[in-house]
Each structure stands twice: as structure tokens, then as C-alpha cells.
Amino acid sequence: MIDVEAFIKEATAEIRQEVGDANAIIALSGGVDSSVAAALAYRAIGDQLTPVYVDTGLMRKGETEQIRETFSYMDSLRIVEAQDRFVGALEGVTDPEEKRHVIGEQFIREFEREARDTDADYLVQGTIYPDRIESEGNIKSHHNVGGLPDAVDFEGIVEPVRERYKDEVREVARELGLESVVSERMPFPGPGLAVRIVGEVTAEKLEVARDATHVVEDEVAKHDPWQAFAAVLGKATGVKGDNRVHGWVVAVRSVESRDGMTARAQELPWETLQRIQSRITGTNDNVSRVVYDVTHKPPATIEYE
């Protein structure tokens, strides 16, 4: 069990000591981990902190608008439009680990650019303990750990929740008074929809993954999953009207977990699954079929790449 009040006191003191009189930027994604890191850093160093949200083009539907609304109280919030740079850097990349490294390097270069503009020497990140375990254990490189480039132009990287699990971070978020839309939000991978697309990331596949994930989150929310989403796997033959289509196969994933280290696939009602497939195939002409992933973690990971 985490002593939330003691942790908040210790974390803010640690941030204040590490950063000192310098300026810092916080890598803000809108998820609970980076939001808690931002709130802790804001408590610790106030106006020395600049929150930076990078719109990679790999985000969920409505993500950028929600960031603007949720963090409008931070006058120094910066929103960086970087869709072309991220998607362009991923062109032709099919290997999952290479994807993560490409995205990790692109993130750092964006943050370095913003740091130069704000005279910041430190980068604050919402890295949590499972990120480190999976990266250091060669399971998969998280963009903010194993996906980081060797050369980073920061005096230091500050990670106030690096020893905490997701459920503990949620407790801290509630104690800090963060809105439930943040504290209770489903986890979303740092590399975004890129790791929910098997193979090369393209504009077409991104649109399918984004729309399908929105449907899944909407339909499955009442079943209280730890995480639920859709992934684009490949293509298969289908029929729409009287026409043959060779469209995308979308996999639906919904799991129960405590901290993401292990997970069990949810036994969703058949009616829910049918509504999901009907909405996804009915609104997307280039989706030919929808399948449900019943694999636990292990042997699978929660995300696809």
C-alpha cells in the first residue's frame, strides 16, 4: 500500500531538489501517469515548468481538444503540431521495436526543440515502474525508456512516479484532485496508435484504428475494463452489399488487470461484441471483419506491438 500523502510530499521535494532554480518541461500526454507527474512538478517548481503536449497524429479521437480543456489552468501549456514529422518518420517501418525507437527519438527531438525555446534544462516524464520492467527485460521498449536515443540534450530527466504502479498513480491522482476523466482514464500507450497497427503505419490504417478504438472504448466502458481498444491486423476478404471487399481486419481487445504486468481477457457479452462489430464495419467501408482477442497476458502482451 502506498502512503499517498507521504509520497506527494517526497516527490515534490525530490523534483525541487533535482531541478533547483532551472527551468523544466513536462512531457504531457493526457494520460494519468504524465498528468500526475505534471501536477507534482507544478506543485514543486511552479512557473519554472512548461507543460508540452505533442500531437503526434497517433492519438485517440478528440485527444488534443481534451488536453486543451483539461489543462487550460496551466497558462504555459504548449501544444505542438507534429503529425507530419511522426508519421513521416514511420514511413516504411514495420518492425515493432524499430517503431518504438523511431517514436522515442522523435519525441525527444520535439522536447529538445521546446526546451531550447523555453530555456529549460530538465525534462519531466511520467515513466512508471512497469515501463522500466518491460524495457529493461527486453519485452518491449517503451518510448520513454528503452526507446530513448543515446544522445539526449537535457541536463537531467526527472521521473517522479518511476517506482509506482498504475493503480498507485491513480491513487495519487485522486489525492491531487485531478478530474476523473484523467484519474480513471484507460491506459493509452506512449507510441499511440502506432503499436495498435501491425506492420507499417499509414494514414488509412490510423483512421481505422482511431475510429475503431473510439467505438470499443464507448461500448465497453460499462463493463469496467482496465483497458479496451481496437487494433488493425491486416486484410481479409469480405462482402458488403453485392460487392467483394478486401478490407482491414480489426481485433478488439478488452482486459482486466491491476497494474498491467499481467492481464486477463474479459468475457464480454455477445450482444456487446455484436454492437462493436456492427458499428465498426457499418461506419468503415474498408473494414471487412472484426475479431475478439481472448488471449491473456502472458502469453500475449496487452498491446499488439
CA atoms within 13 A on the CB side of 110: 25
Give 220-236 pLDDT, tens digit per residue.
Answer: 999 999 999 999 999 99
pLDDT at 182: 87
Phi/psi at 244 (nearest 5 deg)? -75, 135
pLDDT at 149: 54
Q: Within this chain, do residues 31 and 146 fall inside the same structural domain, yes or no?
A: yes
Tell whether the model's pLDDT for residue 139 goes beyond 90: no
Is 135 annotated in some ligand binding site? no
pLDDT at 1: 72
CA atoms within 13 A on the CB side of 230: 33
Q: Cα(203)–Cα(68) distance, rounded to whole angstroms?
A: 24
67 belongs to a structural domain: yes
Range of the domain at 265: 202-292
* CATH number of the domain encompassing residue 244: 3.30.300.10
Is 254 annotated in some ligand binding site? no
Q: Within this chain, do residues 170 and 216 fall inside the same structural domain, yes or no?
A: no
Is 169 annotated in some ligand binding site? no
Is 35 annotated in some ligand binding site? yes
Residue 111 cell numbers, joined: 522536447
Is 278 annotated in some ligand binding site? no
Residue 50 cell numbers, joined: 512548461
Q: Cα(48)–Cα(56) distance, rounded to whole angstroms?
A: 25
pLDDT at 146: 44
Q: Cα(228)–Cα(213) distance, rounded to whole angstroms?
A: 8
Last residue of a domain, one of 122, 149, 183: 183
Q: How far are the Cα atoms of 39, 60, 66 from residue 302, in angstroms, in the given order?
A: 27, 17, 25
Q: Within this chain, do residues 69 and 214 fall inside the same structural domain, yes or no?
A: no
Mean pLDDT of the chain: 91
Burial state string for 94-120 with b = 16 or more CB within 10 A and e = fewer than 16: eebeebbbbbbbbbbbbbbebbeebeb
pLDDT at 147: 44
171 belongs to a structural domain: yes
The fraction of the chain above a pLDDT of 90, given in percent, is 76
Chain centre distance of CA 204: 20
Q: Within this chain, do residues 157 and 210 fall inside the same structural domain, yes or no?
A: no
Contact assessment for residue 181 and residue 70, using Cβ atoms and an 8 Å cutoff: yes
86 belongs to a structural domain: yes
Last residue of a domain, one of 150, 183, 216: 183
Q: Is the peptide bond between 298 and the residue preceding it cis, with omega within 30 degrees of 0?
A: yes
Is 32 annotated in some ligand binding site? yes
pLDDT tier at 16, thresholds 50, 70, 90: very high
pLDDT at 142: 46
Task: Give residue 202's identity as a one-letter amino acid code.
Answer: T
Q: Within this chain, do residues 170 and 243 fall inside the same structural domain, yes or no?
A: no
Q: How many separate helices (H) and strands (E) can be counted in the chain?
A: 10, 9
298 belongs to a structural domain: no
Q: Within this chain, do residues 9 and 123 fall inside the same structural domain, yes or no?
A: yes
Task: Kindly state the average pLDDT of the residues 99-124.
Answer: 94
The fraction of the chain above a pLDDT of 70, given in percent, is 94
Q: Cα(234)–Cα(254) distance, rounded to whole angstroms?
A: 20
Q: Cα(230)–Cα(24) distance, rounded to whole angstroms?
A: 35
Last residue of a domain, one of 183, 211, 226: 183
Give 244-292 pLDDT, tens digit per residue.
Answer: 999 999 999 999 998 888 999 999 999 999 999 999 999 999 999 999 9
Helix, strand and coil content of the chain, in percent to the nearest 5, comes to 45, 20, 35
Q: Within this chain, do residues 130 and 83 fall inside the same structural domain, yes or no?
A: yes
Q: How far are the Cα atoms of 106, 138, 236 from residue 132, in angstroms, in the given order?
A: 20, 10, 37
Residue 99 cell numbers, joined: 517503431
Task: Kindly state the average pLDDT of the residues 212-221.
Answer: 97
174 belongs to a structural domain: yes
Within 56-190, where are the H helices? 63-70, 83-89, 96-118, 129-136, 166-176, 180-183
Is 33 annotated in some ligand binding site? yes
Give 149-185 pLDDT, tens digit per residue.
Answer: 565 778 899 999 999 999 999 999 999 999 888 898 8
Q: Within this chain, do residues 147 and 208 fall inside the same structural domain, yes or no?
A: no
175 belongs to a structural domain: yes
pLDDT tier at 31, thresholds 50, 70, 90: confident
179 belongs to a structural domain: yes
Task: Kindly state the average pLDDT of the residues 105-126.
Answer: 94
Number of domains in the chain: 2
